[in-house]
Chain A
Amino acid sequence: MARLAEGGAIPGARFVDPTVLARIGKLDLLARTVVDGFINGLHRAPFFGASIDFAEHRGYVPGDDIRRVDWRLYARTDKYYVKQYEADTNTNFSILLDVSKSMGFSSGGPSKLEYACYLAACLAYMAHRQRDRVGIITFDDDIVDYVPVSAKHFDVLLHTLDRAKPQRAGSLVGPVNKMAEHFKRRSVLALISDFYEEPDVILEAVKPLSFLGNDLMVFHVLDRGEIEFNYDDASSFEDLESGEQIPIVPEALSVQYRALMQEHISALTTKFSEHRMDYTMLNTSLPLDHALFTYLAMRERMMRVR
């Protein structure tokens, strides 16, 4: 993947692949639900206000601005109705990035963390382009870095991504609960992790993020080696986070392992879908632009359905 502005003035800018952005730029990143904001943009405002998109009529109640009374309708019906419009606005876009040690794994190519950083940068860039406020929270078993959402924090976000290192073991429940307490406004949240926990535990941890009407996108980043488990020699496998080693004969275990991994992914897909959360599994061996394109196309298609 070509890197943009490598060694440039803006740290993290290298993550933005022009090829990816060229393909993503043709798509609109739309929030699934209306996010309230102040700046008109591509997002639909959750509140009716000054907008050209008519939404509906409602009966006049004392206190309403008489300028919003639809006099033509009064003429036809002899009743006062007020016209309501859907106001376009910008929104908060937060990236929740897992930087635990397991994210540092790589069986070839970029590590899962690197891949996740590319993804985060791309998403942030798109949000930033449509004038959404962007922010980032990195975590392992606790909050590591926190960049509040702001229209001016895109550079800080990229800088944070650049500094992210897998250093400690990870846990989802603790840090996510802390984050959930933090989000006071409706936001678009992108949670990026490898999700090495039980599906039920993950779901229970993630649920609070979807409160307040947040739009949660879940990106499950896995290495090819994790998915296919294509090891040959008997080896001692060491857990990246705990350091525990167990002797493994891969040829005897690979089938069972793959089955368990697929079962895990399926469980996550089902459970996130049940709770109206977008779940995307990303294989780091596949091009990022292809993955993003696939996701955004799917997301837009789902928005239309809704």
Chain B
Amino acid sequence: MSFLTPAFLIGVSALTIPVLIHLIQRERKRVVVFPSLMFLRRIPYQSVRRRSIRHWLLLCLRAAALLLLVAAFARPFFPQGALAARATGGTRELVVLLDQSASMGYGDRWQQARDAAHKAIDSLTGDDRATLVLFSRNAEENVRATGDRLRLNQAVDAAKVTSRSTRYGPALKLAQSILSASSQKRKEVVVVSDFQKTGWTGSEEVHLPEGTVLTPVSVAGTSTANVSIPSVAFARTSFSGQDRLTVTAGIVNRGAAAVNGLTTSLEIDGHQIETKPVAVPGNGSTSVSFAAFTLADSYVRGTVRAGTDPMPQDNTFHFVLTPGRPVSVLVVTTREASGDRDDPSLYLAKALSIGTTPAFQVDVVSAVRMSPAMLDKRAVVVLNDTPFPPALAGGALKKFVEQGGGVLVALGEHSTWPANDAALLPGTLTGTVDRPDGRGGALGFLDYSHPVFEVFKAPHGGGFSSARVLRYRALTATATSRVLARFDDGAAAATEQKTGLGRVIAWNTSMDDSWSDLPTKPVYLPLVHQLMRYLGRYEEAPAWRTVGQVLDLTSGSILVGSRRDRVALTPAGKRVTLPTGGGPEFLELDEQGFYELRSTGTAEARPPAVAVDIDPAESDLSVMDQGEFTAAVTGHAGPQATSTAVQEPETPQDLERRQALWWYLLFGGILLLATETILSNRISRV
């Protein structure tokens, strides 16, 4: 404590006056010898002793009053706080970034992190404020800019490790926005994390305000040994009309020591069906395949487990499997399928008969035998070099397309298109174009951004250029159509037209080898499959999703009852009412395990389920260089960097004015004097 006007403290010496008088009196006090105190003792002793104590009390009251008055005039203040404020630049705006990603569940990291957060919060003094930000993949402002340490500590205690992955960018950007808006003189960020290398790309473009002190508090220990299952692969075969699946799990050991005898197991629908010991080399990986099993039902839940270690979350991998649904394809041609070499659907049918993901159910019918009933439950109709089927005229095909059906029109010499359904075709058919210049034409342009050709995007992908096209049907694309491929002479080779929910693609040359040798090229089969998948709107339901992903409830693979009465049961057992109405329908998947999607009021034996696993990157516990991290975020190296902002030091007058202790002292002194007056009056009356 210091004083603004310390000269007044000389007045404290006045305190000695009553004390001295008292001492002098004590020295002069006579000791009277008396024959016997027999009678004096009989007189109530208190009347003697109490009077003495009262006098002492008065003396103390007077001395205390005098002391307070002198102290009040000396104008006290606390220089320690002033010095601290001056040294540190004033009050602080502290942002505590607490990592709650899945990797923080490794060993006792989370407890260490909470202790570090408590420590940072407890360092708040005076008018300091702190914001608690819990972050993982995203950042959440848990407690906003408060000096209430109790509230902050309670929020830290209430926080839990999540299954989400680590990203530092959002948390730092949130801290940046908080500090930018703050008027506090000192800005500080404390990052409590295990500083996983995978959470920082270095391109986050985060720059904390000038002068901000970033203090990384790492809870990552020296041990980063961790066994995890990053993914699972399925080999699907068909046997007796049923799918048989072989599950192969990849196992990664991120520790230096090899792990032998690791127990891996496969559980299907909660029943353990196989257990295998596995040896995984240090800093290596291996895979384990389990015996094939028959996939009879839809939404079969599977789990692969691989031992236990300090981070058990990534030792478990969940997936959901459903038997494949074949894509039904109706090939309409000029004549019935014969299977001989002249069959125009030979190549097409052979290509579609191969493959299980998906499997194609192909029916070939001549145009004359075509009936609208054949469109029922069809995904794709292929008009393979055939006149427009009379049965489909009058809007049947249009209706089929509008309801989501796909049509591939392989244009050949027999192809015709009625004028009243002209809107379905991506363009207007004109004549036949020959490419008689020896080698023929070739496909010169492919729109790789289109889902059909996207898979061929890689260099030399597919080998389309090797296919020769000797003849094609010219098509003048309409304004609403999209040209997906062109021949090397610039003419459209594939054109798409969307009508309603469905799609129509015109392939301008034949799908057999009469006009082109494409069916003899390796790319033919994947091209046909891609066309069928696209036109048939085939979407393979992923066996698992990653924590943090959003489930699109309108997706074809997730069809759960009506729009109004759906609920999701989270892995933790919480019921979430799924969004209804016309807006987007999404469900955020932020827990590891199985999400179950139910329609209320129905008792489904196997409700749709979604398996959610933690991000495999979370299993990589490699630690990044904190110095580089600090330098990248603050622009200067080292967590100890002090504030470079020049703060205006507070003068003693400012501090004293802000503290205003003298008012309390003066009031206390006056109160004591009043008490002393009352007391002395009472004593004098006795």
Q: Which residues of A approach B to under 8 Å, CB–CB?
A: 102-103, 105, 112, 194, 196-197, 223, 226, 231, 233-242, 244-249, 252-253, 256-257, 260-261, 264
Whether the pair A231, B35 counts as a contact (CB closer than 8 A) is: no
- Quick one: which of A194, A197, A257 contacts B43, CB cutoff 8 A? A257
Main secondary structure of the interface of A (DSSP, over half): mixed
A256 proximity list for chain B (CB < 8 A): 43
B51 & A236 in contact (Cβ 8 Å cutoff): no
Per-position binary interface string of chain B over residues 32-58, scored 1 when its CB falls under 8 Å from any chain A CB and 0 otherwise: 111111111111010111011000000
Let me know if B32 and A236 touch, CB within 8 A: yes
12 new A-B pairs (CB below 8 Å) besides A234-B29, A235-B32, A239-B36? A102-B36, A194-B35, A197-B38, A236-B31, A236-B32, A237-B37, A237-B40, A238-B33, A238-B34, A239-B37, A241-B36, A249-B48
Q: Which residues of B sit under 8 angstroms from A245, Cβ to Cβ?
A: 31
Are A249 and B33 interface neighbours, CB within 8 A? no
Judge if B30 is at the interface, Cβ distance under 8 Å: yes
Closest CB in chain A relative to B686 CB, distance in Å: 9
Q: Mark B95-132, 1 if CB is under 8 A from A, else 0.
A: 00000000000000000000000000000000000000
Q: Across the interface, which residues of B come within 8 angstroms of A112, CB to CB? A: 35
Contact of B30 among A194, A235, A257 (CB under 8 A): A235
Question: In the bound complex, what is the Cα–Cα distance between A229 and B39 (angstroms)?
Answer: 11
Measured between beta carbons, the chain B residues less than 8 angstroms from A105 are: 33-35
Given that A247-B49, A247-B52, A248-B48 are contacting pairs, would A196 and B31 also be in contact in the complex, using a CB cutoff of 8 Å?
A: no
Q: A231-B32, A247-B48, A248-B48 are in contact. Are A257 and B37 (CB under 8 A)?
A: no
Chain A residues near B33 (CB-CB < 8 A): 105, 237-238, 240
Expressed in whole angstroms, the minimum distance between the Cβ of A205 and any Cβ of chain B is: 16
Please give, as numbers and ranges, the residues of chain B lying within 8 Å of A241 by CB-CB distance. 35-36
Measured between beta carbons, the chain A residues less than 8 angstroms from B48 are 246-249, 252-253
Complex CA distance for A248 and B48, rounded to whole angstroms: 6
The 10 sampled A-B contact pairs (Cβ below 8 Å) are A102-B35, A223-B35, A226-B35, A237-B40, A240-B33, A240-B35, A240-B36, A241-B36, A244-B37, A247-B48
Query: Hey, which chain B residues are within 8 Å of A253, CB to CB?
Result: 40, 43, 47-48
Q: A246-B48, A252-B51 are in contact. Are A257 and B29 (CB under 8 A)?
A: no
Complex: how many Å from CA A245 to CA B34? 10
State in angstroms the CA–CA spacing of A261 and B43 once bound together. Answer: 12
Minimum Cβ distance to chain A for residue B44 (Å): 9
Inter-chain CA distance A194–B38, complex, in Å, is 12
The chain A residue sitting closest to B39, CB to CB, is: A260
B516 to nearest A CB, angstroms? Answer: 130
Distance in Å: Cβ of B48 to nearest Cβ of chain A: 6
Please give the distance in Å from B39's CB to the nearest CB on chain A.
Answer: 4
Q: In the bound complex, how far is the Cα of B33 from the Cα of A223, in angstroms?
A: 13
The interface residues of chain A lying within 8 Å CB-to-CB of B51 are: 249, 252
Find chain B residues with CB under 8 A from A102 CB.
35-36
Residue ID in chain B nearest A264 by CB atoms: B39
The residue of chain B having its C-beta at the shortest distance from the C-beta of A100 within the complex is B35
What is the size, in residues, of chain B's interface with A at 8 Å between Cβ atoms? 21
B51, closest chain A residue (CB): A249
Task: Please determine whether A252 and B40 come into contact, CB atoms closer than 8 angstroms.
Answer: no
| A-side contacts of B45, CB under 8 Å | 246
B-chain residues with CB within 8 Å of residue A194 when the two chains form the complex: 35-36
Q: Are A261 and B39 in contact (CB under 8 A)?
A: yes
> Which residue in A196, A235, A264 is a CB contact (below 8 Å) of B35?
A196
A246-B48, A257-B43 given; A235·B36 CB < 8 A: no
Q: Which residues of A contact B42 (CB under 8 A)?
A: 260
| Chain A nearest CB, measured from B153 CB (Å) | 57
In the complex, are the beta carbons of B30 and A236 less than 8 A apart? yes
A238 near B38 (CB under 8 angstroms)?
A: no
A247-B48, A247-B52, A252-B47 as given contacts; A196 in contact with B30, CB under 8 Å:
no
Of the listed residues A223, A237, A241, A242, the one surrounded by the most CB atoms of chain B closer than 10 A to its CB is A237
Q: How many Å lie between the Cα of A196 and that of B41 in the bound state?
A: 13
Bound together, the chains give a CA A256 to CA B43 distance in angstroms of: 7
Complex CA gap A258/B36 in Å reads 14
- Smallest distance from the beta carbon of B471 to chain A beta carbons, Å? 136
Specify the chain B residue showing the minimal Cβ separation from A103. B35
A102 to B35, CA, bound (A): 4
Residues of B within 8 A of A248 (CB): 32, 40, 48
- What per-residue 1/0 map shows which CB atoms of B527-557 lie under 8 Å from chain A? 0000000000000000000000000000000
Cα A45 to Cα B52 with chains together (Å): 64
* Residues in B whose Cβ lies below 8 Å from that of A239: 34-37
CB-CB under 8 A from A242, the residues of chain B are 37
Q: Shortest Cβ distance from B194 into chain A, in angstroms?
A: 74
- The reply to whether B39 and A246 contact each other, CB–CB distance below 8 Å, is no
Q: How far is the CA of A264 from the CA of B40 in the complex (A)?
A: 13
Nearest-neighbour CB distance to chain A for B52, whole angstroms, equals: 6
Q: In the complex, which residue of chain B has the Cβ closest to the Cβ of A244?
A: B37
- How long is the Cα–Cα vector from A194 to B34 in the complex, in angstroms? 12
Decide: A238 and B39 in contact? CB cutoff 8 A: no
Tell me the complex Cα distance, A165–B43, Å: 31
- Inter-chain CA distance A239–B38, complex, in Å, is 9
The residue from B29, B36, B41, B47 contacting A236, defined by CB atoms under 8 A apart:
B29
B1-43 interface code vs A (CB 8 A; 1 in, 0 out): 0000000000000000000000000000111111111111111
Q: Closest residue to A198 on the B side, CB-wise? A: B38
- Residues of A near B29 (CB, < 8 A) are 234-236
| A242 and chain B: residue at smallest CB distance | B37
Nearest residue (CB) in B for A253 is B43
Find chain A residues with CB under 8 A from B34 CB: 105, 226, 237-240
Nearest-CB distance from B221 to chain A (Å)?
A: 72
Q: Which residues on B sit within 8 Å (CB–CB) of A264?
A: 39
Q: Which residues of B contact A233 (CB under 8 A)?
A: 30
Q: Which of B316-353 contact A (CB under 8 A)?
A: none
Please report the C-alpha to C-alpha distance between residue A264 and residue B39 in the assembled complex, in whole angstroms.
Answer: 9
CB distance from B510 to the nearest CB of A (A): 132
Q: Which A residues are in CB contact (< 8 Å) with B37? A: 237, 239, 242, 244, 246
5 interchain residue pairs of minimum CB distance? A102-B35, A196-B36, A260-B39, A105-B35, A235-B30
In the assembly, what is the distance between CA of A170 and CA of B385, in Å? 150
**Taking the nearest CB of chain B, how far is it from the CB of A112, in angstroms?**
8
Complex contacts, B52 vs chain A, CB 8 Å: 247
Residues from chain A with a CB closer than 8 A to the CB of B40 are 237, 246, 248, 253, 257
Residue in contact with A237 in the complex, picked from B32, B47, B49, CB distance below 8 Å: B32
Residues of A within 8 A of B31 (CB): 235-238, 245
Q: How far is the CA of A245 from the CA of B42 in the complex (A)?
A: 14
- Are the CB atoms of B49 and A196 closer together than 8 Å? no
The answer for the CA separation of A112 and B49 in the assembled complex, in Å, is: 31
CA distance A47 to B41 in the complex (A): 51
Contact of B41 among A234, A246, A252 (CB under 8 A): A246
Q: Which residues of A contact B30 (CB under 8 A)?
A: 233, 235-236
A237–B40 alpha-carbon span in the complex (Å): 9
Residues in A whose Cβ lies below 8 Å from that of B36: 102, 194, 196, 239-241
State how many angstroms separate the Cβ of A194 from the closest Cβ of chain B. 6
B42 and chain A: residue at smallest CB distance: A260
B81 to chain A, nearest CB (A): 48
Residues of B within 8 A of A234 (CB): 29
CA distance A249 to B46 in the complex (A): 12
Complex Cα spacing A231 to B34, Å: 11
Chain B positions within 8 Å of A240 at CB level = 33-36
Considering the chains assembled together, what is the distance between the CA atoms of A103 and B35 in angstroms? 7
CA distance A256 to B35 in the complex (A): 17
Residues of B contacting A237 in the complex (Cβ-Cβ under 8 angstroms): 31-34, 37, 40
A64 to B439, CA, bound (A): 199
Residues from chain B with Cβ under 8 Å of A252 in the complex: 47-48, 51
Complexed CA–CA distance, A233 and B31 (Å): 10
Chain B residues closer than 8 Å to A235, beta-carbon distance: 29-32
Q: Which residue from chain B places its CB closest to the CB of A256 in the assembled complex?
A: B43
Residue numbers in A under 8 Å from B35 (CB-CB) = 102-103, 105, 112, 194, 196, 223, 226, 239-241
CB neighbours (8 Å) of B43 from chain A are 253, 256-257, 260
Measured in the bound complex, the distance between the Cα atoms of B51 and A53 in whole Å is 71
